[in-house]
A and B are shown apart, each in its own frame.
Chain A
């Protein structure tokens, strides 16, 4: 096998099967033409080193073959890149905040000392950051290769753009956001909810970071979900609920992963097609019922059920009053968390039903 045969075999291996023979035949002809022209100049046959030099001039097989391939030659193209970069920066910012809160909490509850907490912050940022960038790269790669651009790139609405000003994720944007908040100007929260797409992307980033923590891609203040719940359950006086709380992780592990993935998928669909209000509302309704199922299970079937039980409305009021009077135990906090979640689910159900019936976001 000559050097040219070896070279062409390497090019051919990178080409689509149906075009391989045709393209390499043409390249062979081009190379032979060059060899003949050079040999005529030299007045002798080319040496092996000279042939190798000629092939090097022609280009590396990977580069040559890549130019024949249709479609994107990049992981994330220039048009998608600004969206991708914005999403990555937002997710990294959320990760930073979450990791920081986790580290502070672990110091406050006595699970870690300050040097350990700092080390945990670095570890959390590094592991979570790598996972976020990796997952975002995969998502960008897939979006880049779709035949049609997603709707968030083509059908964007002016009212969605506010989030990009508030979340400009640079020094000026941060100053402006903090300035607006401290001056009591238009509330940021309202701005953040300004658009369907912005809200959906926010949820994607939030559930993405939570999912990464849940599966152990990074730790909050050096704590995984089991350890965090155990520490939370042990910080209240009276009964130690640490074991009961951390025991929730095992039965909930896969359901929570499935829920987060379904929610991320739903929010991505919403971001890609903000006009499809009714299908998204149906998804919201289903997710709300799934959430209600989780709540029902915790309230009635889990190891925490006895602590979360309320005998009567009067009992609930008494517990709430106790809470405000400083009689602070996990059972009270748990009941309130469950009640707030139940109210949130009811709100989501009504919201979804309204969008389903009116078709308006």
Chain B
């Protein structure tokens, strides 16, 4: 495996966990899939639909998100938002994130 490939593999591993936090944090405000993807893109976190939509389903099945179908702009859309349980988990994840980040800053 070349250095570039290795870097890409490690980068994806690093990103995977952070994206879940980003999705949870963005869904403090209700969004549907496409608008969430656009919002994350504007935040500098590009995410493929084929990753984002299954992730939303998984987080919902885990009780961290709630969703409902509603019509908007003449089309039915599924809107997601953070559940109370999701808020609690996100708070803990954020604290852990800060702890890891501080540790890494000291080491790096």
Residues of A within 8 A of B (CB): 23, 25-27, 29-30, 32-34, 58-59, 63-64, 67-68, 70
Contacts and interface: CB of A to CB of B under 8 A. Distances in A.
Contacts of A68: 53-54, 57
Instruction: Tell me what chain A mostly uses at the interface: helix, strand, loop, or mixed.
Output: helix
Contacts of B78: 25-26, 29
A23 B48 CA distance: 16
B96 to A, nearest CB: 24
Interface in B7-36: 32-34
17 contacts: A23-B53, A25-B76, A25-B78, A27-B49, A29-B75, A29-B77, A30-B33, A30-B49, A33-B34, A58-B50, A59-B48, A59-B50, A64-B50, A67-B51, A67-B53, A67-B54, A68-B54
A33 B48 CA distance: 14
A30 B61 CA distance: 20
B75 A26 contact: no
Contacts of B54: 67-68
B53 A26 contact: yes
B50 A26 contact: no
A27 B34 CA distance: 10
Interface in B34-54: 34, 48-51, 53-54
Contacts of A64: 50
Contact of A58 (B32, B49, B69, B76): B49
A29 B75 CA distance: 8
A59 B48 CA distance: 9
Nearest to B77: A29
Contacts of B50: 58-59, 63-64, 67
A27 to B, nearest CB: 7
Nearest to B58: A70
Given A58-B49, A59-B50, A29 B34 contact: yes
Contacts of A67: 50-51, 53-54
A70 B59 CA distance: 12
Nearest to A64: B50
Nearest to B55: A67
Contacts of B61: 70
B32 to A, nearest CB: 7
Nearest to B61: A70
Interface string B56-76: 010001000000010000011
Given A30-B34, A34-B49, A63-B50, 20 more contacts: A23-B53, A25-B69, A25-B76, A26-B33, A26-B78, A29-B32, A29-B33, A29-B34, A29-B78, A30-B49, A30-B53, A34-B34, A58-B50, A59-B48, A59-B50, A67-B53, A67-B54, A68-B53, A68-B54, A70-B61
A30 B34 CA distance: 6
A34 B37 CA distance: 11
A58 B48 CA distance: 7
A23 B57 CA distance: 9
B60 to A, nearest CB: 11
